[in-house]
Structure 1
C-alpha cells in the first residue's frame, strides 16, 4: 500500500486558525499585481470581465499535467500570463503556503491542495469560498467523493482536480500459475494471501509497512466514519463497526506474516511489482502511470479488478488520494484565478490532463465512451477505466477528514504503525491514534468529543 512518508504540518490548530483569519483581514498580497480580487459577488460576469482584462497569476502546483493546461489557457486567453511554480509537494507546499499567508506576502493565486488537507485551510479562511463564482452549481459535474471533499458547510473551497477511486491491481500470471481465484471479498483476500505464500514463500499478496491514507480509505469502504466535523467541533472514534472490521481482517495478514515488509515507492517495491513477488495493490485509479514507468517488467501480467467487498455482493468503494485547486483568500485577482481553475478542472483542461495521464473527477469524462473504451497495453489490453469508473460511482459521499488531518497522519506510525513492527494489535493502535488525535485537537482549541 502507499506510504508517502509525510512530514507533519504543525501549528494548524484553532489558535493558528484565528491568527490566520486576523492576518487575512489585514492583507491581500496575492501573486497578481492586479487588485481586482473579490468575493465572487459578480459571479460569471465577473469572471468574464477578469478574462477580458487579463493579468498575471501565480499557481503553486506539483501536478505535471498542469504544464499543458497552462499553455492551452494562455493560448486561449493571450492577455493572461501564468507562473506555474512547484513550491514543493504535499506537506512541503502546505508549510510554504501557511508561512506566506502568515507573512502577508508571496501568497499564490492558486494552490494545489490534497483532499485530506483542505479542511485545515478552509477552516482558517485562508482559501476562498468559490460559491459566488458559480462553483456551487457544479455539484453534478463531479463524482461524489471528490465533490464532498471540497465542500465545507454551505461553502465550496476548491474544485476537484482528480480522483482516486480504489481498485484491486493484481498480477494475473501469478494467480493463474498457482490456480488461485482473484478474491472478491476481504475474507477471500486473506485466504488468497495464505495460498499464494504457501505456494511460493517468495510471493506476498501485497506489501504494507503501515500507511495512514490506506487505513482511512479501508475504513471508509467498510462503512466506518471515525471523524465527524462541524466547524471547530470534531469527534474522533475508531470503535465503530467499519474500523473494527478493517482492523480485525488486516490483523490476520499481519499475524500470519503475509504482508511484504517493503516500503512503497522504494526500488525494492518496484522490483517486487515487476517480478510478481508482490501480487496485488489496493489503491487509487491514478496508479497505472506509476506501474508503467516504475515496473515496466510487469507489463502484460497485471490486470484490474473491483476492490474486494466487506460483504458479498455489496457495492462499496472509497477514494485514495487526489487533490484540488483552491484560490487563497489573499489572491490579488480571485475572479481570474477562478477562471483558470474552472478551465483546468471543469473545462477543456480536463481532457488535456487525461491525455497526459491524469484520472478525472468529472462524471462526464468518467462515463464517456472514449474514456471507458481505452485499452491499456500494460493490463493486457483490458479496458481498465470501466472498473475505475464503476468504483467512482460506488464511493459513499459522507466521509470527513479532520481539520488537522495532516498532523493526525504524522503520528500514525507512532500509534497504528507499531502493529507492523511490534506486538501491538491494530485495534490498540487505532485507540492510541484516536487518543493522540483527540489530545492534539483539544490542545489546539477544538471542541473534541468521542
Structure 2
C-alpha cells in the first residue's frame, strides 16, 4: 500500500504507524478475508456489533430489502468499557464480527492494532454521499477503513418551564450561564443548573474543544500534545468556579442519581450530543413538553462555535471478515439509505453523516420528538451546531488511554478538592508518556 498521505487524516495515520513494529503498521491493504461463496444461492450471512439501542429496526429494514445478504445483530457494551476489547480479541482469535460500530476517536486505535479491513475497493464511488470531514475520519493513506454513521454535535437541553418560571433568558454566553446558575441554585436547595459529569471524558473534551482547544496535531514526524494549554485551562477555571460556589452538582451522568435529578428537575440542563434526545425521552417521559434545546453558550457574544461528543461513530469491517464486500455493502446502506438514516436519527444514533438530509423523514417531521420539546423542531439546532464544529480537531492513537486518564484525574481532583487545572496537567503528562511508551514520537 502506498504511504502517500491523503489529506490530514492520512498524514496522521502515517505518524501513528511510524513508531510501531511492522506487524502493527497500516499495511493491511491485502484482503485477508475474501467473500465466501454461499452454497445453492443462499444469502451471505454477516454479523454486526453495535451498542445503539433499537438499531435492530434498521437491521430488520436491511434484511427485508435484501435477499443476497442477511445481517445478524449482536448487542455489545459501548466503547472502551468492554465492546472494543471484545472486538480486538476476536480479531486476534480469528473469529471477528464482520461489521462493528466504532467511535471516530477509536479508529486510530484499531488501525495501530491492524484490526480493520481496507474497504476502499467497495466504496470507490461513495465519498460524495457523506459530509467530507466525517468521511475523512475513516480514510488513512490510500485506504478506507470505515463508513461514517453520525456525528455528535453538542447542544444544550434545558427545562424551559423552569427557566420561564424563574424569568431566566436562555444563556447565550457562558457568562449568562453563570448568572443563570446562581438564580437556579437560589430557587430550590436541591436544584442545580447542571451536573459536573466527572465520569464523561467525551463531555469534558467537547467543552474544551468548544472553548478553542485543539489537543493533538501531527507535526512533521511526531505528534504534539496540548491538553493543558490556555484554552483548556480557561474552560477548567470556569467549571472550577461553578464547583467552588456549589452551582453545579458533582455527579456521574447516566447514574441512578442523575436519572432521578433529570426526572425531578433538580438538574435543569444537559449539554450533550444530538443523540441525547432519545435518552431524555426514555429517562424522563413524564417531563414531555417541558424541555427545549438551544445552542451551546459562547465564550464571546455573537460567536457561533460548537463541538462534538467524541466526534461521532462509524461502521467498520474487522480484519479477517470472511465477507468484506457484503459487510461494506451493509455499512454503506446502513448509513446512507434514507429509510435507515431516518431510523438511526429517531433512535438516537446521532446527527446523520450523509451530505443530503432532505430525504430523511424524521428531520422534516417527527411528531413524537417535537412534542416532547414543546413543539420545537430541535433538529434545526443540531444542524446549525454540526455546521459550526471545528473540523480541524484530530483524534490521536490511544484515545481509550486518553479517556481513562482524563476521567481518573478529574475524579481524583473533585474527590480531593484539588483544582481541575491540575487534573488536565496530569492528563497531559500521562498521555505523552503513553504515546512514547508505544513508540509514537511526541514533540
TM-score (ref. length: structure 2): 0.86
Tell me how far 1:357 sits from its aligned partner.
4.7
**Gapped regions of structure 2 (runs ≥ 5):** 1-15
* Counterpart secondary structure, 1:122: helix
1: CA distance, partners of 2:27 / 2:388: 41
User: For residue 42 of structure 1, what is the aligned residue in structure 2?
Assistant: none
Query: What is the Cα deviation at residue 407 of structure 1?
Result: 1.4
Change beyond 3 A, Cα 1:310–1:155: farther
The equivalences for 1:16-415 within 5 A come to 18-20=22-24, 28=32, 33-34=36-37, 54-91=43-80, 92-103=82-93, 105-134=94-123, 137-139=126-128, 141-142=130-131, 144=133, 146-210=134-198, 211-229=200-218, 233-321=222-310, 322-348=312-338, 349-359=340-350, 360-365=352-357, 371-375=363-367, 376-415=370-409
CA contact (8 A) 1:187 1:249 kept: no
State the TM-score, normalized to the length of structure 1: 0.84
From the superposition, tell whether residues 220 and 390 of structure 1 become closer, same or farther in structure 2 (CA, over 3 Å).
same
Match of residue 430, structure 2, among 433, 436, 441: 436
Is 1:448 equivalent to 2:442 in the alignment? yes
CA distance in 1, matches of 2:141, 2:205: 22
* CA-to-aligned-CA distance 1:381-420 (integer Å, 9 cap, x gap): 1111111111111111111122101012112233233332
* Helix, strand or coil at the partner of 1:165: strand
Distance 1:234 1:201, change over 3 A: same
- DSSP 3-state at the match of 2:192: coil
Give the whole-Å Cα distance in 1 for the aligned partners of 2:219 and 2:113.
Answer: 14
CA displacement at 1:200 relative to structure 2: 2.3
Offset, 1:215: 1.2
Q: Which runs of 5+ in 1 are unaligned?
A: 1-11, 36-51
In structure 1, the partner of 2:7 is none
The alpha-carbon deviation at position 366 of structure 1 amounts to 6.9
| Superposed CA offset, 1:99-149 (max 9, x none) | 12222x1112111111211111123332133333235742562274x3343
Quick check: 269-278 or 363-372, which moved more?
A: 363-372
Q: What's the C-alpha RMSD, in Å, of the aligned pairs?
A: 2.9
Distance 1:439 1:418 in 2: 19
Paired with 1:231 and 1:139, the residues of 2 have a C-alpha distance of 30
Tell me the CA shift for residue 379 of structure 1.
Answer: 0.8
CA separation of 1:23/1:185 partners in 2, compared to 1, >3 Å: closer, same or farther? Answer: closer
CA–CA separation in structure 2 for the residues paired with 1:320 and 1:17: 32
Give me the whole-angstrom Cα distance separating, in 2, the residues matched to 1:366 and 1:150: 24
Q: Tell me the CA shift for residue 361 of structure 1.
A: 2.5
